[in-house]
Amino acid sequence: METRAPFVVVGAFVLAAILAVFGFVFWLHNTSGIGARTSYHIQFRDPVPGLLVGAAVLFNGIRVGEVTALSLATDDPRRVNATIAVATDTPVRPDTKVGLDFQGLTGVPVVALEGGKDLTGSAIATTLVAEPGAGLSMTQAAREALRKVDTVLGENAQPLKDTIGNLKTFSEWLSSKTGALDGILGGVERMTGANEPVVKKVVYDLQPASGFPPPTGAIKGQLTIPEPTTVVLFDSQKMLVAPNLDLPAFAGAQWSDSIPKLVQEKLIQSFENYDIGHPPLRPNDAVTPDYQLLIDIRSFQIAGEGEPTADVSLGAKIIDKNGKLVVARLFQETTKLDKPDPAAAVTAFDASFDAVAKALIPWTMNSLSGGGEAKPISSGSSGTTKGR
């Protein structure tokens, strides 16, 4: 016996399934579902290419409804009227901005709502007016921009032609002045040093004097050593070379500090090596000195005739707390360089400074120590002697 299927029942089931699928897709497409809606009228003052009934309505990027109607305004041929239905809790305010957005690769248009600053109120008469140019896609906006550029170029064709002609004339004038411009640029390079090769800087330090015999006496009072004075030439960090010597190896050689500060620091360290119990201080050490050792740098460079030497020459003056000169003397020493390079020069400077410090420090201690307070020298004698 052949079984006959109830074709009517099967057909009805298939039709119901198809309708259910379409209903489910429609429900997914409309996130607001079938809940309560609020309708708003929108006025577009520009074309709205591609906008269709059923297009999505986004508020701050979130889907809240869809377009329910589109029509042309009979009283204004440039205006397009649209009706949208959105969820009732959508915060549409009088200052809500309206525009079109184009999504996806194909540029499907949707109505885009953007929240304003008003926190209360609702759209007046449920009508929103889109901003000018809201319906322009990127392609249309580019065309409009190109059209404006073309208009500007058309209106200024002659001035642009004159400007290009002036540029051509200026370029020809520059070509004729190439030699003069090369000279100017060369002068600027020489003035700024841009044409000089990059010199690698090497920093060297000066060693304090050491190896003193035991001190025979202590200073009666507090001694300070201010930063030495000197001419601008020696107020530098470079290892200076006398002009009559051609020693290119010293181009990048420099001291660890400026020469006045370096001499001050190394003298204080040398005094400490002589008698750590009674060292001199700097003036900024919050003390009231009884005496000051004033140093004037006469020379601190590589000099000599033919054979370079490390020349160190210091003028020393001791004054009391009343500003009177106690004693003064000139100390100088020269040491021959073993070879004309910075390393040999540092060794020679160490030897010259060591000799000067070993003469200056005992002289200072003897001047400010002993059985009684040191007396200022008489005005008739300078009290200046010259060291070896």
User: Could you read off the pLDDT of 112-162 as tens digits, one per residue?
Assistant: 888 877 776 665 547 888 877 666 655 666 666 777 887 887 888 888 888
- Domain with residue 285: its CATH number is 3.40.50.10610
- Is 26 contained in some domain? no
pLDDT of residue 122: 60
Q: Clarify whether residues 119 and 217 are in a common domain.
A: no
pLDDT per residue, tens digit, the chain (388 aa), is 445 556 677 777 778 888 877 766 565 555 445 567 888 888 888 888 888 888 889 888 888 889 999 888 888 888 888 898 988 888 888 788 888 887 766 678 888 888 877 776 665 547 888 877 666 655 666 666 777 887 887 888 888 888 888 888 888 887 787 777 777 877 777 776 555 566 688 899 999 999 888 887 777 788 999 999 999 999 999 999 988 888 888 888 999 999 999 999 999 999 999 988 888 888 876 778 889 999 999 999 999 887 899 999 999 999 998 989 999 999 999 999 999 899 999 999 999 999 999 999 999 988 887 533 333 333 332 333 343 3
CB 319 within 8 A of CB 377: no
Last residue of a domain, one of 92, 109, 134: 134
The rounded distance, in Å, linking the Cα atoms of 101 and 199 is 62
Look at the chain and report how many structural domains it folds into. Answer: 2
Q: Clarify whether residues 120 and 216 are in a common domain.
A: no
CB 331 within 8 A of CB 299: no
- Is 145 contained in some domain? no
- Is 310 contained in some domain? yes
Q: Clarify whether residues 102 and 211 are in a common domain.
A: no
The parent domain of residue 305 ranges over 202-368
Whole-number CA gyration radius for the chain: 47
- Name the phi and psi angles at 175, rounded to 5: -60, -35
Q: Clarify whether residues 113 and 218 are in a common domain.
A: no
Last residue of a domain, one of 134, 169, 190: 134
| DSSP H or E segment with residue 160 | helix 157-176
CB 261 within 8 A of CB 255: no
- Is 101 contained in some domain? yes
- Is 220 contained in some domain? yes
Q: Clarify whether residues 118 and 217 are in a common domain.
A: no
CA-CA distances (angstroms) from residue 29 to 36, 212, 338? Answer: 16, 99, 94
Last residue of a domain, one of 84, 103, 134: 134
- Is 19 contained in some domain? no
Q: Clarify whether residues 253 and 361 are in a common domain.
A: yes
pLDDT of residue 18: 84
- Is 67 contained in some domain? yes
| DSSP H or E segment with residue 270 | helix 259-274
Q: Clarify whether residues 113 and 239 are in a common domain.
A: no
pLDDT of residue 27: 58
Q: Clarify whether residues 222 and 355 are in a common domain.
A: yes
Q: Clarify whether residues 212 and 319 are in a common domain.
A: yes
Residue 37 one-letter amino acid: R
SS3 23: helix
- Is 69 contained in some domain? yes
